Amino acid sequence: MDPVSTAALGWLTEQASSRSEHGLTDAVFHSDVRDALARVAEYGTRHAVQETVPAAQRYIVLISVLHGGDDEPAPETASAADLNEAINARLSRRLDRLADRGLHVDRSRLIGTIADQILSGIRADAASSGPLGPIAAMLSLPPGPPVPVDPAVGLDDGDDEDEDEDEDDEDA
């Protein structure tokens, strides 16, 4: 599971536990819920990177955030006060490493956008009677519109030359 999904899962587990919703605590670990949450978190991360990171840096930021550095110890995220704090705890070292390489990211904007996208995804899943419905109810999230899932979002490597060449080929 990627670090953003792990942060969201830890935070949601703590939310259910603190509200004495033991059935929901168990439900959070059900494979359907975990899989749906992982899809929502990955899409939210891709969307947030697309929205907040300059095009030339998107690919490396996305790969670093979702996949890089799995050898690092996992910080505690379950006790985070909010989803932003949980995501920040999981991504802080990764974003530090990017900054050390000269890739500076607006952390608060990136993390806030990821958290907003995750909550929107949970709402959308609830609106379509998906497995995250009980989670949305626990968090008192009103149902939201469906979120389109485009797996290519955020994978732009910032090299627009290829796209221009493809357009030229189509015109010929």
Indicate the pTM of the whole model. Answer: 0.78
Lowest mean per-residue pLDDT among 14-18, 71-75, 108-112: 71-75
Q: Which region holds residue 146: left if phi is over 0, alpha if psi is between -120 and 50, else beta?
A: beta
Phi, psi of 103, deg, nearest 5: -100, 95
Domain boundary assignment for the chain: 3-171
**For residue 137, is pLDDT > 50?**
yes
pLDDT in tens, 65-83: 998 655 555 555 545 578 9
Task: Kindly tell me the burial class for residue 4, based on how many C-beta atoms sit within 10 Å of its own C-beta (0-12, 13-18, 19 or more).
Answer: buried
